[in-house]
Amino acid sequence: MKSITVRSGFTGLWLLGSLVLTALLGELTQALDIDGENINNTVSVALLAVLFGLPAARWGSAMAHLHKLESPRRYGWAAGLAYGVTIGLCMEYLNHIEQTIQILMMRTDLEIHQLYTLLFVGVTAVSALVTGLALGAAARDARLALRLGLWGGLGAGLAFFLVTLVMDYGLGYQVGAPGAEQRATMITVTLVGMVVAAFFGSAAVGRALAGRAPEAAV
């Protein structure tokens, strides 16, 4: 069980492909002198869905292969669509409520690093939850879907949360602190959080898959 859990965790490396694709897109838009603010909401969500969905599709397929599930491509499609669309919608929603967030910070005692943790841990947990549900739906098993969603969401969300705590209070990487921009603190914390969340979220999903009932394997 431990071996399959760890191996499942390493399939999460596929999810990090979105970072490479996003960087390439950034270089392309800069080379073509395209202003991202002029891209409408629908196109923005679609781009994010593709950038995050393609690596997630490969992840879903890899997870299916590892656990010897039939029709790995079906799991790939399910994971890619669920993860890509969820990330796209979440990012667009956060962008849409930016002014509301600023007002909230002015009216409460919330600091930037606390708000960052709340929002990014939330997005991480929700995207992992929805993707886990999609994998279970691909297996045509409602109980498995619920288990994968809960395990995935808790694993990824808790992992990202612990990363923010360690880097904030242990290593001094506090988002929004003086000098944070020069240290690229937000980028650093986000990258580390994504890597750790991808591993532990995938490991949690893998553990749940390994403990599935025989009839749930399709």
Tens of pLDDT along 149-197? 999 999 999 999 999 999 998 888 888 888 878 878 888 899 999 999 9
Lowest mean pLDDT among 3-17, 129-143, 178-192, 197-211: 178-192
Contact in structure between 15 and 56 (CB atoms under 8 Å):
yes
Mean pLDDT across 63-92: 93
The residue ranking higher by pLDDT, 12 or 112, is 12
Q: State the pLDDT at residue 218.
A: 39
For residue 8, what are its two tokens? 């499942």
pLDDT tens profile 21-71: 766 655 555 554 544 555 556 777 888 888 899 999 999 999 999 999 989
Query: Amino acid identity, residue 66?
Result: L
Mean pLDDT of the chain: 85
Mean pLDDT across 90-100: 81
Distance CA 183, CA 60 (A): 34
Burial 209-218, CB ≥16 within 10 A → b, else e: bbebeeebee
The proportion of the chain whose per-residue pLDDT surpasses 90, expressed as a percent, equals: 51
State how many domains the chain has. 1
Q: State the pLDDT at residue 42.
A: 75
Q: Name the band, by pLDDT with cuts 50, 70 and 90, for residue 216.
A: very low
Of 70-74, 118-122, 133-137, 209-213, which one has max mean pLDDT? 133-137
Count of alpha carbons within 13 Å of 132, Cβ hemisphere only?
A: 32
Query: Amino acid identity, residue 200?
Result: F
Query: Amino acid identity, residue 8?
Result: S
How many other CB atoms are there within 10 angstroms of residue 58's CB atom? 18
Mean pLDDT across 115-130: 93
Distance CA 176, CA 100 (A): 18
Q: Locate tokens 């409460």: which residue?
A: 108
Q: State the pLDDT at residue 78.
A: 97
Query: Amino acid identity, residue 161?
Result: F
- The range of the structural domain enclosing residue 147 comes to 2-216
Ranges of H-type helices in the chain = 2-11, 17-31, 41-66, 72-96, 98-107, 112-138, 142-165, 185-210
Distance CA 85, CA 93 (A): 12
